[in-house]
């Protein structure tokens, strides 16, 4: 197999096409979210101006500072899902660009109602976003980060040494871009979309690698 792996992908923000893609997924697929602060750069500049020039109460200052410093890793109330990528193999992905609340509701409702098995890496992060919208989590899922920790005998609850890029960089190279922190302004950049597709494909490949490793231990 050639390395780094080249990922093929399609993308859309059309709800009809997105539903078609999701409904046609096989019984096992990998998935991943990209997230960003819900506030634009212009809005954050306004927050900073108010922080510097307004006489604010403690609570007003705290809330504005939270908004100003928010990023894709912040609490779901401060973020939005910008992309859902799904993969049906290690090199074939589909990216749904989530530029409206309606398409976010569509994808999250699919994820919590389908009986298909979903493969996530660090599922807790993504499921917190799903739960915030639907008050449910997926029915059937596999978390490759937990499986990786088990294989590596790594009890550290943090991501140390079991981040997706740390585990799969040998196969996928630099993921098209070197950072995984995006803004709303990055949503339609080709590099961001390719990054999103690579995340789900790499998750699928990691699952296959783990299964191969587990077979070595089977009796």
Return the structure tokens found at 211: 């299964």
Q: What is the pLDDT of residue 216?
A: 83
Please classify residue 144 by burial: count the beta carbons closer than 10 Å to its beta carbon, then call 0-12 exposed, 13-18 middle and 19+ buried: buried
The arithmetic mean of pLDDT across residues 125-129, rounded, is 97
Q: What is the mean pLDDT of residues 101-114?
A: 98
The tokens for 112 are 């919590």
> Taking residues 9-37, what's their average pLDDT?
97
Q: Which CATH code fits 8-34+83-217?
A: 3.30.420.10
pLDDT score, position 54: 79
pLDDT at 94 over 70: yes
- pLDDT, mean over the chain: 91
What is the predicted pLDDT for the residue at 219? 46
Q: Is the pLDDT of residue 98 over 80?
A: yes
Tens-digit pLDDT profile for residues 183-198:
999 999 998 999 999 9
Q: What is the pLDDT of residues 66-87, one digit of tens each?
A: 999 999 999 999 999 999 999 9
Contact (CB, 8 A) for 93 and 85: yes
Q: Can you give the residue ranges of every domain in the chain? A: 8-34+83-217
Burial of 179 (0-12, 13-18, 19+ CB in 10 A): exposed
pLDDT of 194 reads: 93
Residues 134-172: pLDDT tens digits?
999 999 999 999 999 888 776 555 556 788 988 898 888
Say what the pLDDT of residue 179 is: 62
C-alpha of 146 from chain center: 16
4 — pLDDT class (breaks 50, 70, 90): confident
């Amino acid at each position: 197999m050639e390395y780094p792996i080249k990922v093929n992908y399609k993308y859309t923000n059309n709800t009809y096409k997105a539903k078609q893609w999701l409904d046609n997924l096989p019984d096992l697929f990998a998935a991943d979210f990209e997230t960003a602060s819900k506030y634009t750069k212009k809005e954050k500049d306004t927050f900073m101006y108010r922080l510097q020039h307004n006489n604010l109460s403690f609570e007003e200052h705290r809330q504005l500072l939270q908004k100003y410093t928010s990023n894709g890793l912040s609490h779901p109330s401060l973020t939005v899902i910008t992309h859902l990528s799904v993969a049906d193999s290690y090199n074939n992905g589909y990216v749904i660009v989530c530029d409206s609340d309606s398409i976010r509701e569509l994808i999250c409702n699919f994820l919590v109602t389908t009986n298909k098995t979903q493969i996530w890496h660090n599922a807790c992060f993504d499921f917190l976003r799903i739960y915030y919208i639907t008050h449910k989590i997926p029915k059937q899922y596999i978390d490759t980060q937990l499986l990786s920790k088990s294989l590596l005998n790594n009890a550290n609850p943090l991501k140390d040494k079991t981040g997706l890029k740390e585990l799969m960089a040998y196969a996928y190279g630099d993921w098209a871009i070197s950072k995984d922190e995006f803004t709303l302004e990055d949503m339609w950049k080709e590099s961001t979309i390719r990054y999103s597709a690579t995340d789900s494909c790499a998750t699928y490949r990691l699952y296959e690698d783990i299964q191969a490793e587990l077979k070595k231990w089977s009796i």
